[in-house]
Amino acid sequence: MAHMTNLTFDVSTWEIYACLLHGGTLVCVDSATVLDAEAVLQLYRQHHVKTAFVTPSLFRSYTMQAPTLFTGLDMLCVGGEAVHLADLRAAEQYLTGKFVNGYGPTENTTFSTTFLVSKNEQYTNG
Protein backbone atom coordinates (compact mmCIF):
# COMPACT_ATOMS: atom_id res chain seq x y z
CA MET A 1 0.00 0.00 0.00
CA ALA A 2 1.18 3.51 -0.75
CA HIS A 3 1.52 5.83 2.24
CA MET A 4 1.18 9.20 0.54
CA THR A 5 -0.63 11.39 3.07
CA ASN A 6 0.86 13.62 5.73
CA LEU A 7 0.79 12.11 9.22
CA THR A 8 -1.43 14.99 10.35
CA PHE A 9 -4.16 13.84 7.92
CA ASP A 10 -6.38 11.27 9.67
CA VAL A 11 -6.35 9.02 6.60
CA SER A 12 -2.71 8.23 7.35
CA THR A 13 -3.96 5.93 10.13
CA TRP A 14 -5.89 3.91 7.53
CA GLU A 15 -2.91 3.78 5.19
CA ILE A 16 -0.57 2.59 7.93
CA TYR A 17 -2.69 0.28 10.06
CA ALA A 18 -4.90 -1.28 7.38
CA CYS A 19 -1.75 -2.30 5.58
CA LEU A 20 0.44 -3.46 8.44
CA LEU A 21 -2.31 -5.22 10.41
CA HIS A 22 -3.07 -7.31 7.32
CA GLY A 23 0.56 -8.25 6.69
CA GLY A 24 1.08 -5.86 3.80
CA THR A 25 4.05 -3.78 2.80
CA LEU A 26 3.79 -0.03 3.35
CA VAL A 27 5.54 2.03 0.67
CA CYS A 28 6.26 5.49 2.10
CA VAL A 29 6.16 8.21 -0.54
CA ASP A 30 7.82 11.58 0.11
CA SER A 31 5.87 14.77 -0.53
CA ALA A 32 7.92 15.82 -3.58
CA THR A 33 7.19 12.48 -5.26
CA VAL A 34 3.46 12.70 -4.42
CA LEU A 35 3.26 15.88 -6.51
CA ASP A 36 4.93 14.26 -9.54
CA ALA A 37 2.48 11.90 -11.26
CA GLU A 38 5.16 10.25 -13.41
CA ALA A 39 7.31 9.61 -10.33
CA VAL A 40 4.33 8.07 -8.52
CA LEU A 41 3.63 5.88 -11.55
CA GLN A 42 7.22 4.59 -11.51
CA LEU A 43 7.10 4.04 -7.75
CA TYR A 44 3.82 2.09 -8.00
CA ARG A 45 5.32 -0.17 -10.67
CA GLN A 46 8.67 -0.62 -8.92
CA HIS A 47 7.14 -1.52 -5.56
CA HIS A 48 4.03 -3.34 -6.89
CA VAL A 49 1.66 -0.98 -5.07
CA LYS A 50 -1.88 -2.39 -5.16
CA THR A 51 -3.78 0.00 -2.85
CA ALA A 52 -3.67 3.78 -2.59
CA PHE A 53 -5.55 6.73 -1.16
CA VAL A 54 -5.58 10.14 -2.83
CA THR A 55 -7.59 13.30 -2.37
CA PRO A 56 -9.95 14.23 -5.22
CA SER A 57 -7.67 17.14 -6.16
CA LEU A 58 -4.72 14.79 -6.50
CA PHE A 59 -6.93 12.28 -8.32
CA ARG A 60 -7.80 14.98 -10.88
CA SER A 61 -4.16 15.93 -11.30
CA TYR A 62 -3.05 12.31 -11.79
CA THR A 63 -5.90 11.70 -14.24
CA MET A 64 -4.69 14.61 -16.38
CA GLN A 65 -0.95 13.90 -16.09
CA ALA A 66 -0.54 10.11 -15.92
CA PRO A 67 -3.86 8.24 -15.98
CA THR A 68 -2.18 4.84 -16.40
CA LEU A 69 -0.98 5.31 -12.83
CA PHE A 70 -4.29 3.72 -11.73
CA THR A 71 -3.89 0.63 -13.93
CA GLY A 72 -2.87 -2.32 -11.80
CA LEU A 73 -4.25 -1.03 -8.50
CA ASP A 74 -6.59 -3.45 -6.76
CA MET A 75 -8.19 -0.53 -4.92
CA LEU A 76 -8.06 3.23 -5.19
CA CYS A 77 -9.70 5.12 -2.35
CA VAL A 78 -10.47 8.80 -2.87
CA GLY A 79 -11.68 11.11 -0.13
CA GLY A 80 -11.23 14.21 1.95
CA GLU A 81 -13.34 16.39 -0.34
CA ALA A 82 -16.04 15.93 -2.98
CA VAL A 83 -15.20 13.70 -5.96
CA HIS A 84 -16.39 15.08 -9.29
CA LEU A 85 -18.15 12.72 -11.69
CA ALA A 86 -16.24 14.17 -14.66
CA ASP A 87 -12.93 13.16 -13.04
CA LEU A 88 -14.18 9.65 -12.38
CA ARG A 89 -15.40 9.31 -15.97
CA ALA A 90 -12.06 10.56 -17.30
CA ALA A 91 -10.17 7.96 -15.26
CA GLU A 92 -12.51 4.95 -15.35
CA GLN A 93 -10.92 3.29 -18.38
CA TYR A 94 -7.66 3.11 -16.41
CA LEU A 95 -9.23 1.94 -13.13
CA THR A 96 -8.77 -1.82 -13.23
CA GLY A 97 -9.58 -2.37 -9.56
CA LYS A 98 -12.14 -1.10 -7.08
CA PHE A 99 -12.80 2.62 -6.75
CA VAL A 100 -13.91 3.62 -3.27
CA ASN A 101 -15.18 7.04 -2.28
CA GLY A 102 -14.43 7.48 1.41
CA TYR A 103 -15.90 10.12 3.67
CA GLY A 104 -15.47 10.77 7.34
CA PRO A 105 -14.92 13.81 9.49
CA THR A 106 -11.70 13.98 11.45
CA GLU A 107 -13.62 13.35 14.67
CA ASN A 108 -14.17 9.75 13.52
CA THR A 109 -10.44 9.28 12.87
CA THR A 110 -10.75 7.82 9.37
CA PHE A 111 -14.03 7.10 7.57
CA SER A 112 -17.67 7.41 8.58
CA THR A 113 -18.80 5.68 5.44
CA THR A 114 -17.45 4.35 2.18
CA PHE A 115 -19.14 3.64 -1.11
CA LEU A 116 -17.87 1.22 -3.75
CA VAL A 117 -18.42 3.03 -7.05
CA SER A 118 -19.55 0.84 -9.95
CA LYS A 119 -18.69 1.83 -13.51
CA ASN A 120 -22.30 1.24 -14.59
CA GLU A 121 -23.89 3.34 -11.87
CA GLN A 122 -25.05 6.94 -11.82
CA TYR A 123 -22.86 8.61 -9.22
CA THR A 124 -23.59 11.68 -7.13
CA ASN A 125 -21.57 12.88 -4.18
CA GLY A 126 -23.43 14.94 -1.66
pLDDT of residue 106: 64
- How many domains does the structure of the chain reveal? 1
pLDDT of residue 43: 98
Residue 2: phi and psi, rounded to 5, are -80, 135
Whether 26 is in a domain gets the answer yes
pLDDT of residue 120: 78
The CATH number assigned to the domain holding 62 equals: 3.40.50.980
Tell me which long-range contacts 31-39 makes (C-beta under 8 A, separation of at least 24). Answer: 31/6, 34/4, 34/58, 37/61, 37/62, 37/65, 37/66, 37/69, 38/65, 38/66
Whether 90 is in a domain gets the answer yes
Domain with 51, as residue range(s), is 2-117
Cα separation, 86 vs 60, whole angstroms: 9
Whether 57 is in a domain gets the answer yes
Cα separation, 11 vs 109, whole angstroms: 7
* Nearest of 2, 106, 103 to residue 47 by alpha carbon: 2
pLDDT of residue 62: 97
pLDDT of residue 80: 87
Q: What is the mean pLDDT of residues 5-30?
A: 94
Whether 123 is in a domain gets the answer no
